[in-house]
């Protein structure tokens, strides 16, 4: 069974918004064992939308649309889709009452054009919207299935989870279970190479690898009649992958290195502070994304200038004059300085050249040093990240947390 995702909206084509809906739906369909071979974006144009819909149904059994369900004249998804299935519109009373209630709650007048949203193709399954105004619709016919969802992610996601996922599960006699293993600082190509024999011989379960910043992700998916049976199929494969990667696997499931480290710090009551130069507060922001981190994360300092490094962290002027701001010596003094001024067990630091300018032959753009101080011991690590400024900074943040994780777990942080 295959699906195509059809996003409707000129604003997506113009780049005004990012199509995060397709990413979310693709991931959810993969969990259900439904293949997605195409994603299409089309503007609010009747002819182009109709052509895109017909072409999508030529390629796929299921088409999932997002957007174009609103009250205005350019919201045409429902009309084009009803035409494909040769359906007339009828008023859905429940959706109408929910629409009136929505406007009463926000204390605004419901204009006449809003009623358009609660007319649905006859014989359809209505997905009621508890987070907005436009209901979603499921239509079946001609051997095809169509699911129409609203465009705003805050409306689309809960609707997909409440209605679409159960709908698909009822249609299949099989259950698809995935287990995600997260591998730190191995890289996608090496990860795939280390698993090549398993991937080449795979049947059920299947193994897929992909990369995200400084981690590789291994997804094991099994097809079975029950969740228990699927997990029994996954277990020996997961055990073999753990045997090959050891402590490089830092977690399972939908998490990241930041959350994993923060949980460990909280559990062990280890206090920490950070001093940043090139990352400009991104490390501190990553810490504070974690609920409850205030019990151990005490403070963060953005010391962008040399003067700030000396004044706030106690970095020596001689160190800056001799080695420069971007150096292992400065990173070490920054980490020790923030630990001592904050009274924390651990201090971490970042200093580097994120670009696009400022690099030299000796110190090119992308050169970064991480500093780590704990209980009188200082360590540093040199990094080189090609790419745009935001890429260098984002990868540095992940590298900092991976460095902390390795120190907490007793894993060698060498190059």
Q: For residue 381, count other CB atoms closer than 10 A to its CB.
A: 19
Domain boundaries, the chain: 2-171, 175-252, 257-409
Q: What is the pLDDT of residue 31?
A: 86
Beta strands in 21-68 (DSSP E): 35-42, 62-66
Give the pLDDT confidence of 18-39 residue by residue, as tens digits: 999 999 999 999 888 899 999 9
CA atoms within 13 A on the CB side of 357: 0
May I ask the CATH class of domain 2-171? Answer: alpha beta
The secondary element (H helix, E strand) that includes residue 263 is: helix 257-268
Q: What is the pLDDT of residue 260?
A: 95
Q: What is the pLDDT of residue 186?
A: 82
Contact 41, 10 (CB under 8 A): no
* Tokens standing for residue 15: 């780049």
Report the b/e string of 62-99 with b at 16+ CB within 10 A.
Answer: bbbbbbbbbbeeebbbbbbbbebbebeeeebeebbebb
Contact 217, 211 (CB under 8 A): yes
Give the pLDDT confidence of 90-148 residue by residue, as tens digits: 999 999 999 999 999 889 889 989 999 999 999 999 999 999 999 999 999 999 999 99
Contact 187, 140 (CB under 8 A): no
Domain 175-252 fold: Alpha-Beta Plaits (3.30.70)
Q: Is this prediction's pTM over 0.85?
A: no
Q: What is the pLDDT of residue 391?
A: 92
Q: In angstroms, what is the C-alpha Rg of the chain?
A: 26
Q: Which CATH number fits domain 257-409: 3.90.950.20, 3.40.50.300, 3.40.50.720, 3.30.420.480?
A: 3.90.950.20
| Cα distance between the two ends of the chain | 45
Sites in the chain below the pLDDT cut of 50: none
Q: Give Cβ neighbours of residue 52 (< 8 Å, ≥ 6 apart).
A: 6, 40, 42
């Amino acid at each position: 069974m295959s699906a195509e995702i059809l996003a409707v909206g000129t604003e997506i084509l113009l780049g005004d918004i990012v199509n995060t809906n397709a990413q979310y739906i693709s991931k959810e369909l993969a969990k259900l064992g439904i293949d997605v071979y195409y994603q299409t974006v089309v503007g609010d144009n009747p002819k182009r939308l109709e052509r895109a819909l017909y072409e999508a149904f030529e390629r796929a059994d299921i088409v999932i649309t997002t957007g174009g369900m609103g009250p205005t004249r350019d919201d045409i998804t429902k009309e084009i889709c009803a035409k494909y299935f040769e359906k007339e519109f009828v008023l859905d009373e429940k959706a109408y009452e929910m629409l009136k209630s929505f406007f009463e709650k926000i204390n605004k007048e419901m204009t006449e054009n809003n009623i358009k949203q609660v007319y649905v193709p006859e014989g359809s399954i209505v997905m009621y919207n508890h987070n907005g105004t436009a209901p979603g619709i499921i239509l079946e016919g001609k051997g095809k299935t169509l699911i129409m969802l609203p465009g705003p992610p805050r409306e689309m996601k809960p609707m997909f989870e409440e209605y679409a996922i159960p709908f698909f599960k009822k249609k299949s006699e099989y259950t698809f279970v995935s287990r995600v293993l997260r591998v730190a600082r191995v890289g996608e190509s090496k990860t795939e190479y280390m698993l090549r024999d398993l991937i080449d011989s795979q049947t059920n379960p299947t193994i897929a690898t992909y990369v995200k910043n400084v981690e590789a992700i291994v997804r094991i998916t099994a097809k079975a009649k029950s969740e228990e049976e699927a997990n029994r199929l996954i277990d020996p494969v997961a055990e073999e992958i753990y045997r090959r990667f050891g402590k490089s696997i830092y977690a399972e499931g939908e998490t990241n290195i930041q959350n994993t480290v923060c949980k460990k710090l909280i559990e062990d009551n280890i206090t920490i502070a950070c001093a940043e130069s090139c990352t400009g507060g991104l490390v501190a922001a990553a810490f504070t994304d974690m609920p409850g981190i205030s019990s151990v994360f005490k403070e963060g300092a953005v010391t962008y200038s040399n003067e700030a490094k000396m004044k706030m962290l106690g970095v020596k002027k001689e160190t800056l004059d001799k080695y420069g701001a971007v150096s292992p010596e400065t990173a070490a003094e920054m980490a020790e300085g923030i630990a001592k001024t904050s009274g924390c067990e651990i201090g971490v630091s970042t200093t580097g050249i994120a670009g696009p300018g400022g690099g030299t032959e000796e110190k090119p753009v992308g050169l970064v040093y991480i500093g780590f101080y704990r209980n009188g011991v200082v360590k540093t690590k040199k990094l080189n990240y090609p790419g745009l400024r935001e890429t260098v900074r984002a990868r540095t943040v992940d590298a900092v947390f991976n460095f902390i994780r390795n120190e907490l777990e007793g894993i060698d942080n060498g190059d």
